[in-house]
Amino acid sequence: MRRGAIIMAFNESDAPAIGRAIYREKIHPTLGPEHKGKVVVIDVKSGDYEIADRHIDGAQRLRKRRPNAYTWEEWVDVLVTYKIHPSIKLVKRGQR
């Protein structure tokens, strides 16, 4: 599922905060109960994103449109997030 992209300035050190803000402010309010447990893969440079059952599927679809995406992932209504680029890292909500 693709949503409209937004354009914003990007600094890699700000990527987690940007990814969380995009999810919280732009994406999460549009999600329904049918999305619970799905993953949202966000390009923090553009704000473009994909919703999928598996992170690899969402990431592949997003990278078809945005090959240079710097991605952040959020699981819908699950209390962990994943930083995917440049390496995979499990981050508990509220930590950096």
2 domain residue, yes or no: no
- In this structure, the strands spanning 39-43 and 49-52 are antiparallel
* Statement: residue 85 has pLDDT above 60: no
Residues 6+ apart with CB under 8 A from 29: none
The verdict on residue 42 lying in a domain is: yes
DSSP β-bridge partners for residue 55: none
Provide the domain limits for residue 51: 12-92
16-75 pLDDT tens trace: 899 999 999 999 999 999 999 999 999 998 999 999 999 899 999 999 999 988 999 999
- ∠ Cα 24 27 29 (to 5°): 75
Query: Does residue 7 fall inside a structural domain?
Result: no
Q: What is the SS3 assignment for 28?
A: helix
- Distance between CA atoms of residues 82 and 89, nearest Å: 6
For residue 3, being part of any structural domain is answered with: no
